[in-house]
Amino acid sequence: MRSGQVVLDVEGLRMSYGTNEVLRDVNLQVRQGEVLCLLGPNGAGKTTALEILEGFRTRSAGRVEVLGADPAHGDERWRARVGVVLQSWRDHGNWRVRELLAQLGAYYTCYSTEEIERPWDIGELIAAVGLTAQAEHRVRTLSGGQRRRLDVAVGIVGRPELLFLDEPTAGLDPVARREFHDLVDQLAGEQHTTILLTTHDLHEAQKLADRIVILTGGRIVADGTARELAQRIAGEDEVRWSQGGERFVKSTPESTRFVHELFQRHGEAIADLEVRRASLEDTYLSLVRTTAAEPAEAAR
């Protein structure tokens, strides 16, 4: 998955709101076809980073190149190659689903060049996001999950090469969330769209991403596949046991050896043994806690 050409290149990105420094020397590359998840707690700087990459916010310092251009100076032709799904967008409530998408689709037809594939047939687009039954419904009558699907349809109506999704499943119930994950898989698998999405949900990142970048306190603290991160930065295992009527807890990176030695030394005196293996979740939580007191977070 990392063989495609670099479509997004960020070097030394910094951003401050007044004295609040929220992005500190962020370096990031995304390759064509990757689904990259920017994972971090609230206030980590994810939305700010995404807005800079989308060209909606001016950075304080650093070099940013998205599809060969600086987003701060991206022209309409560049913008047509980039799809954006914001956390929420203001209302087109009275429009019907098909009407809204047809209108937006018409905007992109003027950019149908060799780099930009043919526009969607609107019925096909509506089917792709699973809204066929709601095609003639007014936007304001859609459920949260349906609304999010429409957001994605709006984001991909121009068949973008690169799609930004900001906290796409925030507020969705588990069924809608699952359906949304399937949609993202389908976009990546069938449409070969490069996707950069933000989330504060580790499980979502593990489920969707080819690669996870953990951002906390405005810094990237980890970058790799879920498996690589779990192996590279796994925290300590926890061993609990009872002995002589007392309960003990020991944190250790080598629980197997520790348990072996424990039994060698104390044998049958050991009871109620439990071993909890370190997981990516533990690592993530400890990374987040370590940076929680830093200024960018504390300023919230």
Contact positions toward ligand ADP, by CB under 6 A?
A: 17, 20, 22, 40, 42-48, 296, 299-300
Cβ distance to ligand ADP smaller for residue 157 or 296: 296
Separation of alpha carbons 102 and 194, rounded Å: 24
Cβ closest to ligand ADP, residue 42 vs residue 109: 42
| Phi-psi region at 3: left, alpha or beta (left = phi > 0; alpha = psi -120 to 50) | alpha
Complex with ligand ADP: residue 42 or 94, whichever CB lies closer: 42
For the CB of residue 145, give the shortest distance to ligand ADP in the complex, in Å: 22
Which structure tokens are listed for 197?
């999405």
Closest separation in Å from C-beta 218 to ligand ADP: 7
CA angle 194, 199, 201 (to 5 degrees): 125
Strand partners, 211: 36
Q: Provide, rounded to whole angstroms, the least separation between the CB of residue 50 and ligand ADP.
A: 8
Question: Whole-number minimum distance, CB 37 to ligand ADP, in Å?
Answer: 13
| CB of 32 or CB of 291, closer to ligand ADP | 291
Q: How many whole angstroms separate alpha carbon 218 and alpha carbon 43?
A: 8
Largest Cα span, the chain? 79
Taking alpha carbons only, the member of 196, 116, 184, 120 closest to residue 149 is 184
CB of residue 32 to ligand ADP, shortest distance in Å: 25
Nearest Cα to Cα of residue 38 among 161, 210, 291, 234: 210
* Contact (CB, 8 A) for 202 and 39: yes
Cβ nearer to ligand ADP, comparing 58 with 231? 58
Q: Which is nearer to ligand ADP, 100 or 220 (CB)?
A: 220
Least separation, in Å, of the C-beta of 87 and ligand ADP? 8
Nearest CA-CA partner of 151 in 161, 162, 163: 163
- How far CA 274 is from CA of 33, 247, 252, 255, in Å, comes to 42, 11, 13, 10
Q: Which residue lies nearer to ligand ADP by CB, 61 or 249?
A: 61
Nearest to 160 by CA among 72, 70, 54: 54
Give the shortest CB-40-to-ligand ADP separation in angstroms: 5
The strand pairing partners of 224, in sequence order, are 212
